Structures are given as structure tokens and as C-alpha cells.
Structure 1
Amino acid sequence: MLLKLDLGDARPLHEQVAGAIRRAVAEGECAPGDKLPPARELSRALGVNTNTVLRGLRALRDEGVLEFRRGRGITVATDAGTRAELVDRVRQLIADAARSGYSRNDLVDLIRGMS
């Protein structure tokens, strides 16, 4: 898995780490069930602190993209590709809503009104 960060990007490094892994999953570079390298190895390859990598990995775990298993390491979740794509679309929707003057709560109300 070849990950790169853009040090000129204004986003926090942990978000860039999560985004790079999300992109690798979405593009099929990492398939469901694949094991990721240890956080220390990823941090050395990316040139960032291990805690930064762990923060990005935890965010992906919370999104359902990665699974942490004691003794087995970190693997790509079974439905990671679908979930990662959906999370990206929701993030874009939130950004679009904000540009149009809608808050997250307004957006939630809109969605609830559709169901």
C-alpha cells in the first residue's frame, strides 16, 4: 500500500492519513480482509508521529472502514468500500449544505423529513 501525504494541505495530518487509507480502499488497493501494516511502520513510511497515524486509524475504525482485532492487527472491514464511499458522500453533502447556509442540524431535519 503506497500512501502519501501532502504537507502543503491545510487539513490536519490525521485526517490526511485517514483520507489516504480511505482512498486506497475505494480504489481497490486494499481489499476487505486485507491486513494493514502496523501503525509504527505506517508512521515511518509517512514521516509522521505514530499517534497521528493511530488517530487516523481510529477515525476509520469508528466509520466502519477498519476493524481492530487483538492479536490480528488492523484489517479492512468487509463492507469498507461501500461504507467509505458513503462517508465521503456524506462529508461532501455536509460541505455543500454549509456553503448554502444550512447547519448540520438543518441537514438532519431535511433528511428526516424525507423518510
Structure 2
Amino acid sequence: MLIRVDTGSAVPLAEQVAAAVRRALAEGALCPGDRLPAAREVAKLLEINIHTVLRGYQQLREEGLIDLRRGRGAIVVAAPAQARLREAAAQLVAAAREAGFSQSRVVSLLRDCWKEGP
């Protein structure tokens, strides 16, 4: 299955669902136009609440990675590059928080890197 979760992890299950889809998109296992498994099916297979899956899907929708419509399901709309960048950004934020950096400091670092170029 495309989506896996670790119930023993400190990471919320909904975030794990979203991260699994982001990873699959970034790795090319999902492409724009692909349908995600139905939330009910994912919940049943992973033995988690359907609302948890739906929260993960909603997060992906807010990020612009999927289109989520009642009756139509969840359809991938973003390009893999966007998913890879989103995943990298999430890792950066996690590392910055762990190091005790403020949001403004991280944004400043990003601006500096952007100006410096590759």
C-alpha cells in the first residue's frame, strides 16, 4: 500500500498520511491525475479512524497537492517537483525547530541562500 503509518510515532497519524502521499509524489510513484485510495479504504487497511485519513488528505489539499471532492475522491494535481520542495521545506522546518531557530531567522537564512544562488 502507498500509505503507511507508525502508531508508535510521536508524529500525528494525519501528518503521517500526508507525508506518505507527499513522498510517493516526490518519488514519482504518483503523478498528476492519479487517484488516491478512498479514505474509508485507507482507514480500514491501516486500522485508523477515517477522520484521521481525511485530515491528512485535507492537509494535502491545502498544500495544493491534491483536489478533494465529495463523490470524486482525491486526485493528485501537483507536479512531483512541488511535492519534493514541500517535503524538503518540512524537513527544514523540523530541523530549525529542533535547533531552536525562530521562524524569522529561518526565513532570513532562506532569503540569503536565494540571493547567493546555487
TM-score normalised by length of structure 1: 0.83
Q: Give the equivalent residue in structure 1 for 2:87.
A: 88
Distance (whole Å) between structure 1 residues aligned to residue 100 and residue 70 of structure 2? 44
Counterpart in the other structure of 2:25:
25
Identical-pair percentage: 47
Which segments of 5 or more consecutive residues in structure 1 lack a partner in the other structure?
A: none
Task: Give the TM-score taking structure 2 as reference length.
Answer: 0.81
Aligned residue-pair number: 114
CA 1:27/1:64 → structure 2, altered by over 3 Å: closer, same or farther?
same
Are 1:64 and 1:83, in contact at CA under 8 Å, matched by a contact in 2? Answer: no
Residues 3, 100 of structure 1: CA spacing in aligned structure 2 closer, same or farther, 3 A cutoff? closer
Deviations 1:3-41 (A, max 9, x none): 221122111111111111112222222221101122111
* 2-structure distance, mates of 1:21, 1:78: 11
Q: Is the 8 A contact 1:18 1:59 kept in 2?
A: yes
Alpha-carbon deviation of 1:111? 3.2
Unmatched segments (≥5 aa) in structure 2: none
Instruction: Evaluate the alpha carbon distance shift between residue 78 and residue 12 of structure 1 in structure 2; reply closer, same or farther with a 3 A threshold.
Output: closer
